[in-house]
């Protein structure tokens, strides 16, 4: 898709299976219960292998906002 992904070069995430540079993907989804979930991951354009780096769940109930983060450590 986009071959000019500079951030991939800088971060240096390579696919474990074929050694190709992976690109960064951010996905946000709205769930039926009002939660929002964002997932950040690197994905290999060749084989589809992905490395999840962070997951954020934002929960709004009444006047309270609760943010849960899950960060992957190597």
For binding to Zn ion (CB under 5 A), which residues are involved? 15, 17-18, 44, 46-47, 49
Of 18 and 54, the one with the shorter C-beta distance to Zn ion is: 18
Q: Chain-centre distance of CA 65, in angstroms? A: 21
**Nearest to 54, CA basis, from 25, 11, 14, 20:** 25
Return d(Cα 3, Cα 28) in angstroms, integer.
23
Q: Measured from the CB of residue 66, what is the shortest distance to Zn ion in angstroms?
A: 36
Of 9 and 18, the one with the shorter C-beta distance to Zn ion is: 18
Q: Measured from the CB of residue 41, what is the shortest distance to Zn ion in angstroms?
A: 13
């Amino acid at each position: 898709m986009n071959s000019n992904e500079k951030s991939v070069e800088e971060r240096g995430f390579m696919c474990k299976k074929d050694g190709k540079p992976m690109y960064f993907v951010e996905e946000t989804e709205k769930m039926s219960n009002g939660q929002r979930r964002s997932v950040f991951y690197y994905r290999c354009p060749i084989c589809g292998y992905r490395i999840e780096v962070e997951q954020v769940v934002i929960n709004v109930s009444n006047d309270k906002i609760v943010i849960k983060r899950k960060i992957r450590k190597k």
